[in-house]
Every structure is written in structure tokens, then in C-alpha cells.
Amino acid sequence: MKKIQISPSILSADFSQLGNEIKKLEQAGADMIHVDVMDGHFVPNLTIGPPVIKSLKKHSSIKFDVHLMISPVHKYIEDYSKAGADIITVHPEATENLKSSILKIKKLGKKAGVSLNPESEISLIENHLDEIDLVLIMSVNPGFGGQKFMPEVLDKVKKLKKIKDEKKFNYDIEIDGGINFENSKLAVNAGANILVSGTTIFKSNDGDIKKNIELLRSH
Ligand code: DX5
Ligand code: ZN
């Protein structure tokens, strides 16, 4: 059974202290840092881009799990790779040719992820499951932290886990949005092995990040 990994989303961090916040996450035992990149076009919010990621990467030695909620995405993949992304996750709806975007990420030596919004079906990506390193299942509509978990997406997690086991694929199953200490257990039991969390990690237990990461990991 793969160890459950925790990827805290810095969308809920103090953006005026991002370097220190990332250091705190690393010291608190985060397995990677979930960086939510938003362009105000693919999603109705705008966060950070390659220059900020580049300077943050200098202060961190753990993987940057970069979630690109931008469209068009293909022409920017190299910028995020150069900035220091280790995992680059794209949304199928944001690229004209998902296969070429996946291949581009892998050619750059990075791990390739694809993300499914709550209303998007597995059929959108089923022809690529043998090529990717990660499927990111959105359990909220992308754009903001602090939203309510949508349990109906767990069916997709279960289906992806079944396909993975049957076809001996190797992709990680990451779930992202509204994850807390209760639904994280449902997500892991459904087959997720990477949990993204912003609000629960930064805000629960008086902001005790270490405790919150440990609680999420223990299920
Ligand atoms: C939403 C982002 C998520 C979000 C998670 O578009 O992709 O990563 O920040 O934050 P919480 O855990 O607060 O839902
Ligand atoms: Zn995200």
C-alpha cells in the first residue's frame, strides 16, 4: 500500500510570507508543496506565476506540485518547468492536445499530471492513463480554497483505482478541495494516495501545521 502523501496548498498561506510559510510546511513534514497557479481566465481568480515559483524554489528542498489552472496552458509548460516545478498538472479543457502537453512535460523531465474537475468524466483522460504520473481529482470547482468537499467525486477515485490495479498503471491519485480530517479517510479508502489541503492544514487546531499534516496522514 503506497504511503499517503500530504501536499499542502499554499493558496491558504499568508501570501506576504510565502517563503517562510513554505519553510514551515517543510519542517512540519509536508511531502510536497501544492502550488495553485490561477490566471483569472480558466478560473475566476489570479495567484502566482513562474517568477514567484522560481524565488520560492530557492528556499525549499521538497517537490513543487504545481497545479496549472490556466488556459491556454501548453505554451507555458516550459516556463513552469524552468521555474522549478517538479510535478506539472494541467486541465484537459485548457489544452488543444492533451497528449502533446503530457509528452512536453515528460520531455522536460517532470512528472505529468492531469486534473479532472468535479463535472468532468474519466473518459476525458482514459486514453492517457498509461502516460501520466498523476491524476488530480478536484473535489471542489477550481478557483478558491475553503470550499465544501463534493463527495460524489469519490466514485471517480474508486474507478481510477480499479483501472490502475487492473491495468497495472503507475499513476498517483491525488484529491484536491475541501479535504478535512473526516473526508480524508473516505478519499484514502476510495484509493487516493496524495491529499491536497489548504484550509484544514493552515486553519485547524489553531494553525498547528505539523499536527494537521500528521492527522491527515493518519487515517
Ligand atoms: C482550488 C485549489 C485547491 C484548494 C484547496 O482551486 O486547486 O488546491 O486551494 O484548498 P482547500 O483545502 O482550502 O479546499
Ligand atoms: Zn489545487
Domains and their CATH numbers in the chain: 5-218 (3.20.20.70)
Residue 176 known to be catalytic: yes
CA-143 nearest atom, ligand 1: 6
CA of 66 to the centre of ligand 1 (A): 12
Asked if 36 contacts 12 with a C-beta cutoff of 8 angstroms, the reply is no
Q: What is the pLDDT of residue 146?
A: 97
pLDDT tens for each residue of 88-127:
999 999 999 999 999 999 999 999 999 999 999 999 999 9
Q: What average pLDDT does range 176-205 have in this prediction?
A: 98
SS (H, E, C) 110-157: CEEEEEECCCCCHHHCHHHCCCCCEEEEECCCCCCCCCCCCHHHHHHH
DSSP assignment of 179-214, as one string? --TTHHHHHHHHT--EEEESHHHHHSGGG-HHHHHH
pLDDT of residue 1 exceeding 60, the answer is no
Say if ligand 1 is within 6 A of residue 196 CB.
Answer: yes
Among protein residues, the one with the nearest Cα to ligand 1's atom 3 is 177
User: Which bound ligand lies closest to the C-alpha atom of 10?
Assistant: 1
Q: What is the pLDDT of residue 59?
A: 84
Active-site position among 36, 39, 133, 172: 36
Say if ligand 1 is within 6 A of residue 35 CB.
Answer: no
Say if ligand 1 is within 6 A of residue 92 CB.
Answer: no
CA–CA separation, 150 and 30 (whole Å): 24
Asked if 201 contacts 12 with a C-beta cutoff of 8 angstroms, the reply is yes
Say if ligand 1 is within 6 A of residue 178 CB.
Answer: yes
Q: What is the pLDDT of residue 219?
A: 67
pLDDT tens for each residue of 42-94:
999 999 999 999 999 998 999 999 999 999 999 999 999 999 999 999 999 99
pLDDT tens for each residue of 154-167:
999 999 999 999 99
Percent of the chain with pLDDT over 70: 99
